[in-house]
Amino acid sequence: MATTTDPTARTLDVPGARICYETSGTGPLLLLVGAPMGSRGFATITPLLAEHFTVVTYDPRGILRSTVEDPDAEVTLDLLTDDVHRLLEALGGEPAYVFGSSGGASIGLALAAGHPAQVRTLVAHEAPLVELLPDRAELRAGIEEVYATYAGEGRNAALKKYAALTGVERFSRPPGGGRHEVTDLESFTPPDDVRAILDRFFLHILRPTALHRPDLAALRAVADRIVVAGGTAAEGQLSHRSATALAEELGTKLFEFPGDHTGFQGEPEPFVRLLRQVLTETA
């Protein structure tokens, strides 16, 4: 028997792509944004959030079920953000709660800057914004090196350099809490879709989301609707450092959420409790 947490899958045609998205639950609209992570990455928290919200998740263009007309076409952060803008319009246009993680937080910030009327509250969790950091030139070169390494040496070599640069030592954590070391992708025989996600990430998503410089003036204008978040176990990692820098730029506090860069996967219950709290208090 279906319940309010059973997701319903639909598609939306956008310029150059077809986006697959899922809805579940009832209540205020809450959009979960990941990049390169799609709907499956939020599987641990979607049912918990669906008890209080109408939760929408989606696969970014070129990821899993979301297809693209030209797999080699350039991807920009503006394009990824426009997909979210069009998705929210298709969902009725009401201001939505938005939770963005990693590259999804970069997208969420661009949405809040460019389409503030669509954002009720944004929680930007660990956006990898290297341009906000004092060692930006070195980090920028490191991101470019990861991209070049993928193109020249392949997925595993790029993954090792990505892990060393960011401090994120695993690509994902399964719901059971086990650890997946990413220094050798093949060592844990990941499914084909994980390899496909990484391929898309290194070629088309890493640079747009990590090298984006947010519109700080536009974000300061809506800073009362932005919650900047970091992971309690991620201090010192690139995305936690950039989250700290973003909070300073916006003149707000950094909210420490349970776990690491993907803490919502490893510690879903306490993560959701805090997420609900900051969303409702900010609203």
Euclidean distance between CA atoms 77 and 207, whole angstroms: 9
d(CA 246, CA 268): 25
Which position has the token pair 């809490």? 177
Residue 259, in any domain of the structure: yes
200 φ/ψ angles, rounded to the nearest 5 degrees: -65, -40
> Do the Cβ atoms of 96 and 120 come closer than 8 Å?
yes
More confident residue, 137 or 170: 137
Residue at 108 is within a domain? yes
- Check pLDDT > 70 for residue 5: no
Binned at pLDDT 50, 70 and 90, residue 164 comes out as: very high
Q: What is the mean pLDDT of residues 99-121?
A: 98
- Of 131, 193, 195, 126, the closest CA to residue 158 belongs to 195
CATH number of the domain bearing residue 42: 3.40.50.1820
Please, are residues 176 and 265 in contact by the beta-carbon 8 Å criterion?
no
pLDDT value of residue 191: 65
CA distance 256 to 262: 13
The answer to whether residues 228 and 129 touch, using CB atoms and an 8 Å cutoff, is no
> Residue 226 carries which DSSP code?
E
**Structural domains in the chain (count):** 1
Type of residue found at 150: Y
Considering the domain boundaries, does residue 169 fall inside one?
no
Q: Could you list the residue range(s) of the whole structural domain that residue 225 is in?
A: 8-133+213-282
* Within-domain flag for 158: no
In a domain, 81, yes or no: yes
In a domain, 37, yes or no: yes
From CA 100, how far away is CA 35, in angstroms rounded?
9
Mean of the pLDDT values across residues 24-41? 95
**What integer is the mean pLDDT of 205-212?**
97
Please count the residues of the chain: 283
Assign 167 to helix, strand or coil: coil
Name the residue with tokens 């997909």. Answer: 83
Question: For residue 109, is it within any domain?
Answer: yes
pLDDT in tens, 33-90: 999 999 999 999 999 999 999 999 999 999 999 999 999 999 999 999 999 999 999 9
Averaged pLDDT, 136-144: 98
Q: What is the C-alpha to C-alpha distance for residues 128 and 177, in angstroms, rounded to an integer?
A: 24
Is 179 a residue whose pLDDT tops 70? no
Residue 106, domain member (yes or no): yes
The mean pLDDT of the chain is 90
- Helix/strand/coil for 187: helix
AA identity, residue 141: A
In this predicted structure, the answer to whether residue 181 has a pLDDT above a threshold of 60 is no
